[in-house]
Amino acid sequence: MDSSNIKLRPEVRDELQTCSVEGCNELPTDFLNQMQVPKLIWCKPHADMLATMISKQYYKAFIDVLRQHKITKVPILTVWKVKPEDRRCCVPGCEGSFIASWNFEPYKQPGFAIVCDRHQFAIDCLQGRLYGPRLINELARKRSSRKGTDPVAEKRKKVILELCARHHGDRNYIMAVCEGLQKGRIKMPQHWVTKWNEKYSWGLQGWDWFVAYQKPEAKHRIENYISRLSSLKLRSNTR
């Protein structure tokens, strides 16, 4: 049997799970329950990206609270596998015993902050901040309502979004994205190519992202473009 001749019924297609990020067709596998975002499902690259963004906000808030109490040294984070009797407060110089903890993974590895009763205030201040739901609401507000968009531009956005998720955390993720775009022969905006070839005689092909990125005259424009397009948006049918 040739699978190319098989089509699913519309009602079946409507029930298929998709990553909650607009334009992403990766297989969805992950929830963000620990981030207080239980309803939506994500592909692993976008789940990891969102989890990192959320845990980063919690860690920043944790550091800010400590600094407000004149604690400026970086807390000593650990792994949860440490035996209970060996768990000590993460505040440098404090040997207090475990009373509470918070997990800042995946932003921090290791990411467990253990506090004693003296420093429990730093964990208590994180309760109720709801950074996960707030980020999801922010992404939902970014959802585009434009109609009749250019299919070439839509394909370019989709591939950029997927590549950004794949290379999230890389030292120079934009360079990696440019390499992927050129390898996939995804076209740049045509007016870029025309302008650069006329002005600098570079002889660019329409998909020469990586070649153009090496040029100082083009690098900044490409960086801004990819950074702007890579901003996550939720699918319009997300509930």
Band of pLDDT at residue 110, cut at 50, 70 and 90: very high
Helix (H, G, I), strand (E, B) or coil at 28: strand
The answer to whether position 196 is within a domain reads yes
The answer to whether position 1 is within a domain reads no
**Mean pLDDT value across residues 203-225:** 94
| Together in a domain, 103 and 188 | no
The answer to whether position 71 is within a domain reads yes
State the Cα–Cα distance between residues 159 and 176, nearest whole angstrom. 12
Q: Strand 28-32 vs strand 112-115: parallel, antiparallel, or unpaired?
A: unpaired
Highest mean pLDDT among 39-43, 145-149, 179-183: 179-183
The count of structural domains within the chain is 2
State the Cα–Cα distance between residues 132 and 51, nearest whole angstrom. 8
Helix (H, G, I), strand (E, B) or coil at 113: strand
pLDDT at site 15? 62
**Mean pLDDT value across residues 132-151:** 72
Residue 82 DSSP one-character state: S
Is 90 exceeded by the pLDDT of residue 202? yes
pLDDT at site 169? 73
Q: Exposed/middle/buried for 162, CB within 10 Å: 0-12, 13-18, 19+? A: buried
Tell me the pLDDT of the chain averaged across its residues: 85
Is 70 exceeded by the pLDDT of residue 83? yes
| Together in a domain, 135 and 178 | no
Which domain covers residue 88, as residue numbers?
A: 11-141
Band of pLDDT at residue 239, cut at 50, 70 and 90: very low
pLDDT at site 80? 80
**Residue closest to 35 by CA, chosen among 125, 107, 122, 116:** 107
For 72-201, where are the alpha helices, taking DSSP H only? 121-124, 131-141, 151-166, 173-183, 190-200
Helix (H, G, I), strand (E, B) or coil at 2: coil
Band of pLDDT at residue 145, cut at 50, 70 and 90: very low
pLDDT at site 23? 74
Higher pLDDT, 218 or 171: 218
Residue 27 DSSP one-character state: P
Is 90 exceeded by the pLDDT of residue 186? yes
Model confidence pLDDT, tens digit, residues 34-81: 778 878 888 888 898 899 999 999 999 999 999 999 999 999 999 887
The answer to whether position 199 is within a domain reads yes
| Together in a domain, 134 and 159 | no
- Sign of dihedral through CA atoms 194, 197, 203, 205? negative
The answer to whether position 126 is within a domain reads yes
Higher pLDDT, 4 or 187: 187
Is 90 exceeded by the pLDDT of residue 11? no
| Together in a domain, 114 and 24 | yes
- How does 134-150 read in b/e, with b if 16+ C-beta sit within 10 Å? ebbeebeeeeeeeeeee
**pTM for the predicted model, two decimal places:** 0.63
Model confidence pLDDT, tens digit, residues 119-139: 999 999 999 889 999 888 888
| Together in a domain, 30 and 136 | yes
Q: Strand 37-43 vs strand 100-103: parallel, antiparallel, or unpaired?
A: unpaired
